[in-house]
Amino acid sequence: MCSDKFYTYIILTERNTFYCGYTNDLKKRFEQHKSGHGAKYTRVFKPVEIVYFAEFDTKSDAMKHEAFIKKMNRKEKEFLISQFNRDELSRLSLQKINIQ
């Protein structure tokens, strides 16, 4: 799914923590996290699923959104995720790229 689009994403881990990152290939990056070849954080706290993602036209915008999310407290992240999960199109998007 490598494209000219960029994504900011949040992964839920086995320890019920969140990991946030950005990529231009959401499926490949999630597979890297699951196989232990992603971030150090997801090597320790194993990823369960992608619970949020947003698509951007530029790497810069995806990185800015990642920084914004990383400044959020847990409740704010949970609210962002809850809004995403209420959107049927978001769930269908994850299925379309075979992430869940």
* Residue pLDDT, tens place only, 13-24: 999 999 999 999
Q: Under CATH, which number does the domain 6-96 receive?
A: 3.40.1440
Sheet strands side by side (includes 6-13): 18-23, 6-13, 47-56
Domain spans in the chain, listed from the N-terminal domain onward = 6-96
Report how far residue 24's alpha carbon sits from residue 7's, in angstroms, rounded to the nearest whole number: 6
- Which pTM was predicted? 0.85
Q: Mean pLDDT throughout 69-82? A: 96
Q: Is the pLDDT of residue 79 over 70?
A: yes
Q: Is the pLDDT of residue 92 over 80?
A: no
Q: Mean pLDDT throughout 32-56? A: 93
* Average pLDDT over all residues of the chain: 89
Question: Is residue 79 within 8 Å of residue 69, measured between CB atoms?
Answer: no
